Structure 1
């Protein structure tokens, strides 16, 4: 990639970061400005963008629980929303066709239906990026949003199949045999160590999956997702996921830049795209009421709806195929690209305040309360504890064992992932399953008995949200946090943390203290 691409992407990503917007907003703007400046996209840009999407689908697969994916609430909610959105949007497009004389709205009924279908998807790239930045992939609303995206992707694959008339080869049934390779894949991953072989192994499977699927005339992207699902839940799958994160994020920058090269928009296209963007709150409300109707908790319904209230890169794929088949004009591909860009900006900005909005408006949301599935209620009692450790990764687990020596029986861990929580419980660790971002979790906790809450989480955004939740519940005890950098320490302390431990800077201190015991024992 030319240095000009890297320079412009960095400048606009940097500017977006300085005004507290996600850098992806800057990358999207950079793509349109490069195109408007007459810069010609290099062939490598599209290749790297495709690689970013492939790695994203593979890493999504690494986090999927297939049994959760088959929940009736999930697939029924997805298709009810897609159908409901098309029923709402289609008459609006038909009305514009009947009343506006502009050539953009010289549409047949079938063309209007394709456009409505393209806008029924939500952005996998945007949602996953937001969840990763907030360390919420394993939260209930994160699981729900990702599950909806996967079912939407399945709908997109079915559309591409019927639209192209290309049927899978009979050899496609042989792909079922991939499941029997899982033990071999597990053994190879375990034997790859912890160095450069781990990400290389990930690239091999992420790129090999699509090749296998395309050999039997199936969509390659589905192959990346399936290969990730084969490794989900294996002992080193989390390490593999982390090793691919930086690569994925880097290649996805190329995807955001490439959106700007769809075509140069006219003023009319901008206005139509803006009009479609204004409809996003309706899409949000429809998601909220659908999730609420199928029995999900209000908070889960609200946060998932907020995540999914955007338009999708899969809508671009649907539109691109329709343009190739001469079903849609090229102008509508540009409009969908612009609307997708606007919607990503909308989602990225508004989700920053999602937890605060829910905490402040909880009473207003309660009027929509419905009987929900009891499995959604994960709050367990906290009795006779003085210290809570939120986040039981390596740092949290180490802190638990150290604190347990000084205050035996007074320490309790809080883990978001039910499977990990169960595993800790089997190890004899005092653990409860809960979401620290959830205001209702803190409202039910006996905070008057808790003297110290330790936030051992990888995401600064998540710790900021939890500190806000604790202040909202009038918690009067102490709060300690971990940070990777000095500026993060200052920010968290400014928000109300009593101490911020920089484990990169202070690991040497801990190492020395442990090592000195060797001399004292002589």
Structure 2
């Protein structure tokens, strides 16, 4: 049965990715098809799904800026959104109950309020997958979305502790000692090398110390994985560890999406109830947009954040399961919410993937939400006398900047969407601003770029470089455009957009090494 399920996942993922949808939608569809055919659920699928979620939260922790959670745009917006979404959904459920259209909704108002609370959450797994596929995990709107989701996870932990009467063990205070063990964790990472032992070190932190350690003291295991990720995030090899675990995490998450699609086959009445819940999603999106825009975010950023969070969370299934065990909620609601979660993924995936097109279609109406006092990340960018611009200030971008400065002097500008990386570049004497070249509004914010002669696309993901190349073409830029690529097909795609020089990092690596060796050594003759 496992072979059949893997075949279904591959086939559906391949087909839907060819039509422009994220592969995760194909995995959901594969789960539905597998379940519809009445095939036996493979043993261990739920364990793989849980493992994927744990590794996902550990990976988030490796990239998380804890100080960012303390900003009002994160904690205040997530709290306001939860209150508004819960109230709205509760009102809609109560209205359906009063109309008497379905016995499923004939519930006491405290249960309806609980359902409203559960449906106010968005899926961390879905949102992070969508952001990773777009290469926007570090984009400003992606940072805001992840911050909101983490705050929601904290609310979920609090709710589960109260509703299940699961009081943390007296030994739970021991987790406060984990920060003092950071030197030990760092030492183990240093001594783990770069092979399979390094990967096992990451799994030990995520599953052993984090998830199982928190579970032993009656705390949420996934929260433990997140905390461990945060603790080792300051290590120089944290990014390397995240990349090492990436493939393993992705494979396990396939199990998560398959398991969501295999929750069961609902009746027509249950399907109608799930579709009704999906009709509430646009209002949930509107609430997200309204709330985050109050903190000075531009309409584009607010919309992208809202679209990333346009879905229901698997947390709703947990809440329904608890209520069902206590006899307060019919087991039918488990299937209703499972269907609503699955359908919300099917709706949210294309919206998130095509957020640029959605924004262009709504830009006229969204302009009314333009903030009077924009967020510091959202101010206009004046290029002035800048002659060369480098988009992406990682290692390649820094090298390009230093080389161009010899010809252009101080008329070189670097653009980096990760604030910490921009700060490091500025400390080293480079003129770098914080900006997201994968954001449509970034290009709309540019002012006085007539002196610019050259743009170098040095972003780490091909999607970002392609997007920037299209924007430059749309703006009618007539200067030179150069870019980096990894594969021959990427070189061809960039050249088709008018990029005059594409540096294939893999093909040129050998030539660069030989040139460096010749410069460093005195060769005879």
Which residue does the alignment assign to 1:497? 499
Q: Give the whole-Å Cα distance in 2 for the aligned partners of 1:87 and 1:24.
A: 31
When structure 1 is superposed on structure 2, of 297-306 and 115-124 the one drifting more is: 297-306
Contact 1:421 1:433 in 2 (8 A): yes
When structure 1 is superposed on structure 2, of 46-55 and 387-396 the one drifting more is: 387-396
Cα deviation code 1:205-250 (max 9, x no counterpart) = 1002111111111111111111111122332211111111111111
Are residues 1:336 and 2:337 paired?
Answer: yes
Which residue does the alignment assign to 2:478? 476
1:273-288 alignment to 2 at 5 Å? Answer: 273-288=274-289
Cα deviation code 1:473-506 (max 9, x no counterpart) = 3333233222222333333333443343332233
Q: Give the whole-Å Cα distance in 2 for the aligned partners of 1:52 and 1:62.
A: 15
TM-score (structure 1 length as normaliser): 0.93
Which residue does the alignment assign to 2:437? 436
Q: Go from structure 1 to structure 2 and tell me whether the alpha carbon gap of 1:2 and 1:438 turns closer, same or farther (over 3 Å shift).
A: closer
Q: Which runs of 5+ in 1 are unaligned?
A: none
Q: Give the whole-Å Cα distance in 1 for the aligned partners of 2:500 and 2:280.
A: 43
Q: Give the whole-Å Cα distance in 1 for the aligned partners of 2:11 and 2:165.
A: 44
Which residue does the alignment assign to 1:90? 90
Cα deviation code 1:440-494 (max 9, x no counterpart) = 4333243322222111123232223323333443333233222222333333333
Q: Give the whole-Å Cα distance in 2 for the aligned partners of 1:190 and 1:386.
A: 42
Which residue does the alignment assign to 1:451? 453
Contact 2:131 2:137 in 1 (8 A): yes
Q: Give the whole-Å Cα distance in 1 for the aligned partners of 2:439 and 2:186.
A: 35
Cα deviation code 1:152-172 (max 9, x no counterpart) = 111111111111111011111
Contact 1:356 1:468 in 2 (8 A): no
- Length, aligned pairs only: 522
1:321-470 alignment to 2 at 5 Å? Answer: 321-358=322-359, 362=363, 364-372=365-373, 374-377=375-378, 381-442=382-443, 443-470=445-472
Which residue does the alignment assign to 1:308? 309
Q: Give the whole-Å Cα distance in 1 for the aligned partners of 2:327 and 2:441.
A: 52
Q: CA deviation at 1:378?
A: 5.9
Cα deviation code 1:383-431 (max 9, x no counterpart) = 5432211112233233333444555444332111111111112223332
Q: Secondary structure at the match of 2:507?
A: coil
Q: Go from structure 1 to structure 2 and tell me whether the alpha carbon gap of 1:101 and 1:298 turns closer, same or farther (over 3 Å shift).
A: closer
Q: Give the whole-Å Cα distance in 1 for the aligned partners of 2:441 and 2:88.
A: 34
* Aligned-residue CA RMSD (Å): 2.3
Contact 1:378 1:433 in 2 (8 A): no
Q: CA deviation at 1:351?
A: 2.0
Q: CA deviation at 1:380?
A: 5.7
1:190-209 alignment to 2 at 5 Å? Answer: 190-208=190-208, 209=210
Q: Secondary structure at the match of 1:388?
A: strand
Q: Give the whole-Å Cα distance in 2 for the aligned partners of 1:233 and 1:384.
A: 37
Cα deviation code 1:59-90 (max 9, x no counterpart) = 11111111110112311211211111121111
When structure 1 is superposed on structure 2, of 199-208 and 327-336 the one drifting more is: 327-336
Cα deviation code 1:24-51 (max 9, x no counterpart) = 0000000111111122212211111100
When structure 1 is superposed on structure 2, of 298-307 and 401-410 the one drifting more is: 401-410
Q: Give the whole-Å Cα distance in 2 for the aligned partners of 1:406 and 1:514.
A: 21
Which residue does the alignment assign to 2:74? 74
Q: Give the whole-Å Cα distance in 1 for the aligned partners of 2:500 and 2:279.
A: 42
Q: Secondary structure at the match of 1:412?
A: strand
Contact 2:386 2:449 in 1 (8 A): no
Which residue does the alignment assign to 2:179? 179
